[in-house]
A and B are shown apart, each in its own frame.
Chain A
Amino acid sequence: NAGVMQNPRHLVRRRGQEARLRCSPMKGHSHVYWYRQLPEEGLKFMVYLQKENIIDESGMPKERFSAEFPKEGPSILRIQQVVRGDSAAYFCASSLQGTISYEQYFGPGTRLTVT
């Protein structure tokens, strides 16, 4: 049973370009969470999704950021018109049920660098 997979592991974008980060949850998991880790800081919650639904996006910046988790395929975190401040590690976690937090399993992260 493969763990949470994220790709790409490293992504370099120029200012103004779009970044697409993908997350494939563990097999059978239908809940996905995205967190952002700025350099030398802890992880900050961004968004919580179930299949085809956004449950909680209280941590998402209001502009340029969007997330989806379609019925088929991975969850996508999309950042439009990236700026240098978007440079960070983006982690995805998945869980089988949405009720017990300790069941969140983290992926290896995507490290985004904006030049």
Chain B
Amino acid sequence: GEDVEQSLFLSVREGDSSVINCTYTDSSSTYLYWYKQEPGAGLQLLTYIFSNMDMKQDQRLTVLLNKKDKHLSLRIADTQTGDSAIYFCAESLPNAGNMLTFGGGTRLMVKP
């Protein structure tokens, strides 16, 4: 199976919070990342968390990491229509050089 898994789709109303979840299989991950991809565009790094942390907050974004369950989440507070995009989680491994392993992406749709 895939090393990094995400649900395919999430729909929320504008102003609500969005929570996008991700699970990974390799407990030796060093960094875990969240990227945003808008239609027809490249990937924009939103935030990342080092594997010895369990939470990181950056303005409207909160990342939670549960190493025991190998579960990563991204919470977007006060979701706006401009947040509609595909969100990818990714991991880097200590012995895999610098390559990133991505999940399949979660398409977030924000309804006005």
| Cα–Cα, bound, A107→B43 (Å) | 8
Answer yes or no: A27 CB below 8 A from chain B CBs. no
In the assembly, what is the distance between CA of A25 and CA of B30, in Å?
24
With most chain B CB atoms within 10 A of its CB, the pick from A40, A42, A100 is A42
Chain B contact residues: helix, strand, loop or mixed: strand
For chain B, the count of residues having a C-beta within 8 Å of the partner chain is: 24
Is B88 a contact partner of A101 (Cβ separation < 8 A)?
A: no
Interface check A48, CB cutoff 8 A:
yes
Contact A43 B43 (CB under 8 A): yes
Number of A residues near B (Cβ < 8 Å) is 28
Chain B 43-72, CB within 8 Å of chain A: the 1/0 string? Answer: 111001000000000000000000000000
Instruction: Give chain B nearest CB distance to A23 CB in angstroms.
Output: 11
Cβ contacts B89-100/A at 8 Å (1 or 0 each): 010100011111
A to B contact number (C-beta, < 8 Å):
65
Q: Are B98 and A42 in contact (CB-based, < 8 A)?
A: no
- Stretch binding the partner chain, chosen from A14-22, A64-72, A78-86, A91-99: A91-99
Docked complex Cα distance between A107 and B104 (Å) = 19
A30 to B30, CA, bound (A): 22
User: What are 16 A-B pairs with beta-carbon distances under 8 A?
Assistant: A31-B98, A42-B88, A42-B102, A42-B103, A43-B88, A43-B102, A48-B97, A56-B96, A56-B99, A91-B42, A98-B97, A104-B98, A104-B100, A106-B43, A106-B45, A109-B41
User: Which of B's residues lie within 8 Å of A, judged by CB?
Assistant: 4, 30-31, 33, 35, 41-45, 48, 88, 90, 92, 96-105
| Top 7 A-B residue pairs of the complex, sorted by shortest distance between their CB atoms | A42-B102, A101-B92, A45-B99, A106-B43, A108-B42, A106-B42, A42-B104
